[in-house]
């Protein structure tokens, strides 16, 4: 019987041994990720309610989903939150990256401070901002103690404004991460291009607007993919900050899915919501991956 060293040193052993080592984790990942995705997709086509029911009902759950008023609120909130979260994170992150790119003093300290929120989980971020924005003990209470008794900031308990509190907390956490991505892109630009533009008399803002920022297009696309993905699957931030309230005024598709599947006994409806979220993410990510692969070829 050949020894392990003989098998591993042979050409066939060197070729197959890494595959054998990786195979169990690959099979488990395939089953627990893609297998459960397929199972969820079938549940969305079934009559499942409190428990899984494999009776096929076609698109009935999707019809119920898009007729559901609460899901409509979640979609509108997703549009508001997604626009503010993605736009705010990218705009603030780019601004911070440009400021740090000026080789200012204490750059390392500032970079760490800006990146620190990303090291915190969304649960902690939501809880902290819940305290800050609470009218009874947060920002409003503090300003009133300073003597401005008429000051009011009750967005967190206002059904019309609460979703903006979620966006503020999300931008605060993600802007540092976006800054790091843009700063890496800025540091990869050849300084001779900027110096040549300065010799020609171009001002620094014009150099960034006309030369530097357009060269960051790949970074923009990569950042957009990551931040969009975070926006679509946002769950823990909302649950910690508002729990979907007041009422269901700050519901997002992820929190709607959780409420339907685990609180209301509507597994089929929750599975349909999860499938819609998956399709939305795929619609964003797949074209990007296709363009990247096509460019490499």
pLDDT above 60 (res 6): no
Q: CA-CA distance, 251 to 79, in Å (whole number)?
A: 12
pLDDT above 80 (res 138): yes
Average pLDDT over residues 19-34: 83
Could you tell me the fold of the domain covering 68-296?
Answer: MetI-like fold (1.10.3720)
| CA proximity to 273, closest of 67, 106, 25, 32 | 67
Per-residue model confidence (pLDDT) at position 175: 92
pLDDT band at 94 (very low <50, low <70, confident <90, very high): very high
pLDDT above 80 (res 19): no
pLDDT above 80 (res 178): yes
pLDDT band at 88 (very low <50, low <70, confident <90, very high): very high
Estimate to the nearest angstrom the gap between the alpha carbon of 119 and the chain centroid: 14
Per-residue model confidence (pLDDT) at position 283: 85
pLDDT above 80 (res 291): no
Listed in sequence order, the residues at least 6 apart from 254 whose beta carbon sits closer than 8 Å to its beta carbon are 232, 233, 234, 235, 238, 277
pLDDT above 60 (res 111): yes
Per-residue model confidence (pLDDT) at position 63: 93
pLDDT above 90 (res 251): yes
Q: CA-CA distance, 128 to 241, in Å (whole number)?
A: 8
Per-residue model confidence (pLDDT) at position 1: 47
Per-residue model confidence (pLDDT) at position 150: 86
pLDDT above 80 (res 8): no
Are 244 and 251 in contact, with CB atoms under 8 Å apart?
A: yes
SS3 annotation, the chain? CCCHHHHHHCHHHHHHHHHHHHHHHHHHHHHHHHHHHHHHHHHCCECCCCCCCCCECCCHHHHHHHCCHHHHHHHHHHHHHHHHHHHHHHHHHHHHHHHHCCCCCCHHHHHHHHHHHHHCCHHHHHHHHHHHHCCCCCHHHHHHHCCCCCCCCCHHHCCCCHHHHHHHHHHHHHHHHHHHHHHHHHHCCCHHHHHHHHHCCCCHHHHHHHHHHHHCHHHHHHHHHHHHHHHHCCCHHHHHHCCCCCCCCCCCHHHHHHHHHHHCCCHHHHHHHHHHHHHHHHHHHHHHHHHHHHHHC
What is the radius of gyration, based on Cα positions, of the chain? Answer: 25
Per-residue model confidence (pLDDT) at position 241: 93
Tokens of 54: 């494999």
Domain boundaries, the chain: 68-296
Q: CA-CA distance, 248 to 242, in Å (whole number)?
A: 9
Burial tier of 226 (Cβ tally within 10 Å: 0-12, 13-18, 19+): middle
Q: What is the pTM of this model?
A: 0.84
Q: CA-CA distance, 195 to 212, in Å (whole number)?
A: 12
Per-residue model confidence (pLDDT) at position 11: 64
Mean pLDDT, the chain, rounded, equals 86
pLDDT band at 71 (very low <50, low <70, confident <90, very high): very high
Per-residue model confidence (pLDDT) at position 10: 60
């Amino acid at each position: 019987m050949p020894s392990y060293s003989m098998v591993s040193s042979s050409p066939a052993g060197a070729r197959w041994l890494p595959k054998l080592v990786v195979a169990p984790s690959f099979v488990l990942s395939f089953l627990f990720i893609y297998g459960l995705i397929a199972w969820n997709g079938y549940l969305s086509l079934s009559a499942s309610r409190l428990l899984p029911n494999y009776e096929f009902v076609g698109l009935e759950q999707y019809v119920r989903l898009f007729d559901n008023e609460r899901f409509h609120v979640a979609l509108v909130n997703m549009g508001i939150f997604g626009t503010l979260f993605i736009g705010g994170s990218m705009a603030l992150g780019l601004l911070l990256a440009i400021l740090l790119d000026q080789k200012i003093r204490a750059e390392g300290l500032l970079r760490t401070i800006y990146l620190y929120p990303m090291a915190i989980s969304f649960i902690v971020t939501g809880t902290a901002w819940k305290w800050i924005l609470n009218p009874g003990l947060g920002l409003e209470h503090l300003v009133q103690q300073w003597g401005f008794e008429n000051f009011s900031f009750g967005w967190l308990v206002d059904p019309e404004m609460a979703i903006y509190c979620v966006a503020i907390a999300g931008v605060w956490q993600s802007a540092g991460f976006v800054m790091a991505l843009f700063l890496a892109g800025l540091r990869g630009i050849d300084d001779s291009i900027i110096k040549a533009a300065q010799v020609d008399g171009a001002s620094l803002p014009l150099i960034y607007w006309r030369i530097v920022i357009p060269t960051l297009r790949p970074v923009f696309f990569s950042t957009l993919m990551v931040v969009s993905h975070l926006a679509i699957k946002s769950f823990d931030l909302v649950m910690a900050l508002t729990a979907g309230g007041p009422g269901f005024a700050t519901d997002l598709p992820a929190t709607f899915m959780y409420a339907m599947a685990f609180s209301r006994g509507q597994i089929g409806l929750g599975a349909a919501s999860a499938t819609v979220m998956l399709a939305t993410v795929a619609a964003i990510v797949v074209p990007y991956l296709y363009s990247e692969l096509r460019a490499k070829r």
